[in-house]
Structure 1
Amino acid sequence: MKIRSILAILVWLSVCSLSNAQGIPAGYYDQASGLTGPQLKTALQKIVRNHTVKSYTYLWTAFYTSDDKSNGKVWDMYSDVPGGTLPYEYTFGTNQCATTPGYEGACYNREHTFPASYFGGGTTDTIYTDLFHLIPADSHVNTNRNNYPYGVVGVATWTSMNGSKRGPCISPGYSGTVFEPIDDYKGDVARNYFYVATRYENSIASWENNTANGDVVLNGTSFPCFEPWFLTMLGEWHTNDPVSQKEIDRNNTVYGIQGNRNPFIDHPEYVYEIWGVGAPNYLPEPSNYPASFSAHNIQLQWVDATGDILPDGYLVRMSSTGFSSISDPVDGTVYPDNLTDQNIAYGIQNTWFKSLNPNTTYYFKLFSYTGEGSARSYKTDGGVPQLQQTTTP
């Protein structure tokens, strides 16, 4: 049989391996490609601005899907104990409240992780109901958090049942009262703040003097937005508590509600590329992938990743049954080349998969990695490029 060849120019979508199928829309971050520093931040602002504004009352409804646990209960970061025994759990609707009882475990309300007083407290402002910084939280803990900055507490003057605490800050550069969430949710908080600094880039410079605690956090500019001590801490929290499946799922859900996304959940590397804080251990993704195909062979070609932190190579994995059949590689494991796995050094920019069946759809994922042998570390968080293609008959 004569083999017919075709040439296709395709773009591999940088999409996350998620349980939620919403995912990152094709081309969503194209405007940000190749940028760094304040230019990248401004490009992201143009992408995520103009979202659909919901009412403050609607947040109660939104929480049902944006902040629900697998058991259907409220996911309250101020009371949750990952892997441990919870002091209490809340049922949506039944346990919501607008008032503040004087004890913990009574009800949940709506918490502005970026306090409303920081932006002036205007209930008609877009940020007032922006889900990317609003969460359900125990009412009593919310009250004790007040509008204190987030920070690292030395000796706690108050501690919640899950270990969140309030007290004097021990971060270099500030010694006032702060509120410290548990380690499991510090990255969530940091990425909320990076989102606010980006989405509200055109307003945040005017917020510094709205309140004393806001002045402690904000420096009166649109870039870098935050005081040095606070920015350094956010970078550390972002690095030490990387993006979780909870955040990925929530990002997708809020996108379905508001029509915009938190870029720092989709692309954690943007934090370092913009602000230069946090360990730059997020590998950049390759881009611009032309590919040629025939009945029995598929060639994949790409343009290598660019930026400050580059991969040593790529593991390209293939399946004939679907993307879900392609498992994430395990750190410290080197997978030998075979019919379904190809290890490609940085700079080669292409590989062939051969001896394939005609008229069959094949699925590919490309995993960046650094290191070799037991030190090999794969990038499986954030987004993993994937592509499907059908061979000719």
Structure 2
Amino acid sequence: MKRKNIPITGAEEFFFCPFFYRINSFLKLLGNFMDNQLVMTKHVSIVLVLVTITSFVYPDEFDIPDGYYDPSEGLYGIELKTALYEIINDHDSQSNSSLWTHFQSTDMKTNSKVWDMYSDIPDGTPPYEFTFVTDQCGNYSQEGDCYNREHSWPSSWFNNNYPMKTDLFHVYPTDGYVNNRRANYPFGEVGTSTWVSENGSKVGSCSYPDCEGTIFEPIDEYKGDFARTYFYMSTRYLGEDSGWDANQMVDGAELKPLAVNLLMDWHESDPVSEKELDRNEVVYEIQGNRNPYIDHPEYADRVWRAATINVFSLENWNMVGLPLAVDDPSYQTIFPSSVGGTLYSYNGAYIPETELIQGNGYWLRFQEAGSVQITGVETDQLHILLTEGWNMISGISSSINVSNIIDPEDLILPNSIYGFETNYYSVNSIEPGKGYWVRSDGTGEIIITVPASQE
């Protein structure tokens, strides 16, 4: 993954550059040298040095270090999570007091103010902003008094232990008063609020499915940030969570189904931002590890929505489909015991294929009966285009009753969905990994999805 950096446009911005801590000692030496120079020489020299250092500190592009994630390639589920843990564990633990200084590198806005996700209003004017050092808490009695260190994964959940207490991937500078109102409440989505901050963050009763009690809800623009923070924490402290709390969201470092569903929603609705990319780079310079879910957002699906499905086949011809999202959809990879050159789709005529596409059905021949395990990311919804006449389709990662197929244009003719096992048969459900004939009265879209009752 590569990204462009925001250009440095002047000496003032340079001094507040997120990488300033890397060159601070050099500038001190430079200052001592300049004390012995003429004023004009001093001004000219400092400009030249700033230009040179800026070019060094801010290359045109950042790269994930070569090979950093190589051990994770091709993995899913707990195997992927474990591989990521092995990559990012044993980071350089920081002192609690050093966080104040690090915040000046990790969480500075372009106007040099504190980037506080509990008070910021993206694309708007915040009601107040904090200045580093001078507005550091301190006592507070209302919003805007001072900022402090917020453990987004509450420190009481891990008994205030190190190194998680000072892990910058979950510790952020936030308004002290708002931090106090958040307390140790889990994240969630508020139905009825009991308190709302000036930027719209809320405390109140949880309205998310299966969620109970009092929760804290950040504004929409930062929900993805916190989701990827929790994915990181659950991965970084895999197996290092002895004695950690259990509640409706977590059991130690493990995310419970409620948390996975909520955080995946946030992860998808609020994609990785430039702010997160910048912060990831700076924390990497400080701690020596990265947040995999910022570098590779797709890893969240691969860890928490991974599945393995057994697909059975009979000798000779079978109707098949692809029930999961996979890296390599080649039929010889998905169905290694199939006969080469025998994969066919249908679009008014049979078409030879080499790869499977989710939602499409195929004919595929096998020399003998058997089964195969397919591992990938669960698919819970497919939009499938039908044309008039017969179509070959397949379903999602779970069994779906044909009565639950969403057909807003009434395209599917009655009793016209058929499977094949030696002979054709009328079906009541669409099974993962199987292909089916469907007869349509016209051209349009149907939706195969998990009914709300099964979610």
Render the CA deviation track for 1:303-325: whole Å, top value 9, x for unaligned: xxxx826699xxxxxxxxxxxxx
Render the CA deviation track for 1:139-175: whole Å, top value 9, x for unaligned: 0000000000000000110000000000000011112
Paired with 2:103 and 2:187, the residues of 1 have a C-alpha distance of 23
Q: Report the counterpart of residue 398 of structure 2 in structure 1.
A: none
Cα distance, 1:132 vs structure 2 = 0.2
Render the CA deviation track for 1:260-296: whole Å, top value 9, x for unaligned: 000000000000000018xxxxxxxxxxxxxxxxxxx
1:245 equivalent among 264, 274, 287: 274
Render the CA deviation track for 1:200-227: whole Å, top value 9, x for unaligned: 0012364134xxxxx122135x6xx122
Render the CA deviation track for 1:106-138: whole Å, top value 9, x for unaligned: 11000000000000123xx10010000000000
1:308 equivalent among 316, 325, 330: 325
| Structure 1 residue identity aligned to 2:289 | N
Q: Report the counterpart of residue 218 of structure 1 in structure 2.
A: 250
Q: Secondary structure at the match of 2:135?
A: coil
Alignment of 1:317-356 (within 5 A): none
Runs of 4+ in 1 over 6 A off after TM superposition: none
Aligned-residue RMSD, C-alpha: 2.1
Q: Which has the higher strand share?
A: 2
1:171 equivalent among 203, 208, 211: 208
| Structure 2 residue identity aligned to 1:226 | L
| Structure 2 residue identity aligned to 1:236 | D
| Structure 1 residue identity aligned to 2:286 | I
Q: Report the counterpart of residue 156 of structure 2 in structure 1.
A: 117
CA contact (8 A) 1:23 1:252 kept: no
Paired with 1:264 and 1:192, the residues of 2 have a C-alpha distance of 8
Q: TM-score, normalised by structure 2?
A: 0.55
Q: For structure 1, which runs of at least 5 residues remain unmatched after alignment? A: 1-13, 210-214, 278-306, 313-345, 348-393
CA contact (8 A) 2:223 2:267 kept: yes
Paired with 2:243 and 2:270, the residues of 1 have a C-alpha distance of 30
Cα distance, 1:15 vs structure 2 = 3.5
Cα distance, 1:84 vs structure 2 = 1.2
Q: Report the counterpart of residue 90 of structure 1 in structure 2.
A: 130
What count of residue pairs does the alignment treat as equivalent?
Answer: 262
Alignment of 1:159-238 (within 5 A): 159-204=196-241, 206-209=243-246, 215-220=247-252, 225-238=254-267
Paired with 1:78 and 1:234, the residues of 2 have a C-alpha distance of 18
1:157 aligns with 2:194: yes
Q: Report the counterpart of residue 331 of structure 1 in structure 2.
A: none
Alignment of 1:61-80 (within 5 A): 61-80=101-120
Q: Percent identity?
A: 50
Paired with 1:82 and 1:67, the residues of 2 have a C-alpha distance of 14
Cα distance, 1:16 vs structure 2 = 3.8
Paired with 2:295 and 2:259, the residues of 1 have a C-alpha distance of 23
Paired with 2:158 and 2:68, the residues of 1 have a C-alpha distance of 28
CA contact (8 A) 1:36 1:273 kept: yes
Q: Secondary structure at the match of 2:215?
A: strand
CA contact (8 A) 1:197 1:204 kept: no
| Structure 2 residue identity aligned to 1:107 | C
1:33 equivalent among 73, 94, 114: 73
Cα distance, 1:102 vs structure 2 = 1.6
CA contact (8 A) 2:74 2:327 kept: no
CA contact (8 A) 2:104 2:132 kept: yes
